[in-house]
A and B are shown apart, each in its own frame.
Chain A
Amino acid sequence: MEINSGNELKTPLYDIHIASGGKMVPFAGHLLPVRYESGIIAEHNAVRTAAGSFDVSHMGEIILDGTGAFDTIQNVLTNDFTGLADGGMRYSPMCNNEGGVIDDVIVYRFSADKYMIVVNASNKDKDYAWISSHLSDGTECRDLSPLTAQIALQGPESEVILRAAAGSEADLPVKAYTFTDGVVVAGIECLVSASGYTGEAGYEIYMPPEGVAVVWNALIDSGRDFGLIPCGLGARDTLRLEASMPLYGHELNEDITPFEASLGRYVKMDKPDFIGKGALEGKTEPERIRVGIEVTDKGIAREDCQVFSGDVVIGKTTSGTMCPYIGKAVAMAIIDREFADPGTQLEIDVRGRKLKAVTVKMPFYKKEK
């Protein structure tokens, strides 16, 4: 049982989660459901085959506003936001001066002078302090997190469910990584983006906290006939892992560079400058790198297991579980680069038992187009 400090915030959906049989756990300063009565496997598979709804109100939202907003983003983030259109989104690591990852974030562009940065709940205070202390002239920075709730609606039936709740005429974003502001869902004005953290099509829906219960209930009601069930943090973790998406605090931290985390394509070394660029010069081909591993023996590798080639420790796992949809025990690990090629035979020490494993190409699961 995790320690509950007693100071966790309840999201506006707390009472609904309790009434729906949510098993609540403390996570990143919030009380959130780890699962509902149907269980993690059913929730996971609902997202792969139908739809699931997640309360992700704990996520952080930081607004950058003003003539310096673009310069600020270009400086504090490693990706290049040139060419990002209004209504577009882009993923990026945010690095410290040593090239370690402070957080991984998603930028929403409202206009040339206004952006929203969505950050991990566990990092939002640290991120806000970091960004605030690196503002280019003419930038205003606001933490909108307390004024913003978020629901993720994920899975192949997401569009039909959201249309049923928002009306067939609703102007929903079509292309992945785009968003529409002002979509009215069950009478509540929402920002809706075509995005998520599961490897499925779906939406992330932002709204004021006082409106989130109405939207949640509308999605549950209109989704019932399409197989939608509410999903907790447990399924969120197994889904992102099955889709090989990194999670801050596991595959990413301040001592891991984006190149080591296999996120080099989000680091634009040809940008004139950004925080961490100097430290990352010459490190684009790192000695250790994140890989996907499939456990071939019976058993499950979790995070922080040592990875062996013969008797030599070559790295450690950063996440691992039994992935319900693909039905395989998989892990991600950061290991010496020479063992990273797919098909390399390894062993993972799981509580004193050495399990046979093999490196595989990521993602473990990719949805059919």
Chain B
Amino acid sequence: MNNGMMFTKTHEWVRKEGEGVVLAGLSAHAVTEMGDLVFINLPQVGTKVTAGETMADVESVKAVSDVYSPVSGVVAEVNESLADAPEKINEAPYASWIAKIESVEIPEGLMTEEEYEEYLKDI
């Protein structure tokens, strides 16, 4: 993975933070589609996560949505500040990381920002 942001087909972003360490969050597109977020169920630190499987869930006024882990690894830290202010994700989706994941294995099929923009045009 390069140092830029990469995206999943399920609208999560992931960014390299150190050797084998990444930050993950929700894309601006995901957040716009969901609308005002009012709750986040953060993962537990130490949880093993698997690429493509649920690691958290967020709730808008209208509905709940799963957040899928973009990579496999172990949750090293969660962004506790989102628990009291999930609206931060609406305001700044790329600054509002949800989980820091370490011992990371990067799966195939992540998209660069340009590829993700193209992907959004087709859905």
Q: Contact residues of A with B, CB < 8 Å?
A: 23, 34-35, 39-41, 44, 234, 237-238, 298-300, 302, 321-322, 324, 329, 351, 353
Contact = CB atoms under 8 A, between A and B. Distances in A.
B64 A298 contact: no
B35 A300 contact: no
B62 A300 contact: no
A234 B61 contact: yes
Interface string B43-69: 000000000000001011111100000
A298 B83 contact: yes
A34 B62 contact: yes
Interface residues of B, number: 13
A299 B39 contact: yes
Interface in B25-41: 35-36, 38-39, 41
Nearest to A41: B36
Q: Which of B39, B62, B64 has the most CB of A within 10 A?
A: B62
Nearest to B62: A234
A168 to B, nearest CB: 37
Contact of A40 (B39, B41, B57, B61): B61
Nearest to A25: B62
Contacts of B64: 300, 302, 351
Q: Which of A234, A238, A322 has the most CB of B within 10 A?
A: A322
Contacts of A41: 36, 38, 61
A324 B61 CA distance: 8
Contacts of A298: 39, 83
Nearest to B90: A39
A34 B62 CA distance: 9
A2 to B, nearest CB: 10
Given A300-B38, A329-B39, 15 more contacts: A35-B35, A39-B36, A40-B36, A40-B62, A41-B61, A234-B35, A298-B39, A298-B83, A300-B59, A302-B63, A322-B59, A324-B38, A324-B61, A351-B57, A353-B41
A300 B58 CA distance: 10
Interface of B: 35-36, 38-39, 41, 57, 59-64, 83
A299 B36 CA distance: 15
Given A234-B62, A351-B64, A300 B39 contact: yes
B35 A322 contact: no
A68 B68 CA distance: 61
Contacts of B39: 298-300, 322, 329
Contacts of B57: 351
A8 B61 CA distance: 24
Contacts of A39: 35-36
Closest 5 CB pairs of A and B: A322-B38, A40-B61, A41-B36, A39-B36, A300-B59
24 contacts: A23-B35, A35-B35, A40-B35, A40-B60, A40-B61, A40-B62, A41-B36, A41-B61, A237-B62, A238-B61, A298-B39, A299-B41, A300-B38, A300-B59, A300-B64, A302-B63, A321-B61, A321-B62, A322-B38, A322-B39, A322-B61, A324-B61, A329-B39, A351-B57
A43 to B, nearest CB: 10
A146 to B, nearest CB: 29
A342 B98 CA distance: 37
A237 B62 CA distance: 9
Contacts of B63: 302
A23 B61 CA distance: 15
Contacts of A23: 35
A23 to B, nearest CB: 8
